[in-house]
């Protein structure tokens, strides 16, 4: 049986969606390696750069 690429992509998408639904939220929260979010780090960098430019 030969699947079209669209059908294959659809099946992969369904499998990934099912896997995400099955993963308990506690596992998702505890497997995060970053202690800070990228947004927090970016905001801190912007503040430091602004302070540096102002000579503070």
Q: What is the pLDDT of residues 9-19, one digit of tens each?
A: 888 888 888 87
User: So what's the pLDDT on residue 37?
Assistant: 82
User: So what's the pLDDT on residue 48?
Assistant: 92
51 has a pLDDT exceeding 60: yes
pLDDT bucket at 24, cuts 50 / 70 / 90: low
Q: Determine the Cα–Cα distance for residues 42 and 20; give it in Å rounded to an integer.
A: 28
User: So what's the pLDDT on residue 49?
Assistant: 92
Per the listing, tokens 């970053």 go with: 34
Q: Contact, 3 vs 11, CB < 8 A?
A: yes
Residue-range definition of the domain harbouring residue 23? 5-54
Q: How many domains in the chain?
A: 1
The verdict on pTM exceeding 0.75 is no
């Amino acid at each position: 049986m030969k699947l079209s690429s669209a059908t294959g992509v659809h099946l992969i998408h369904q499998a990934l969606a099912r896997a995400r639904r099955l993963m308990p939220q506690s596992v998702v929260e505890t497997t995060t390696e970053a202690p800070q979010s990228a947004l927090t780090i970016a905001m801190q960098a912007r503040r430091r750069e602004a302070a540096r430019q102002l000579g503070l």
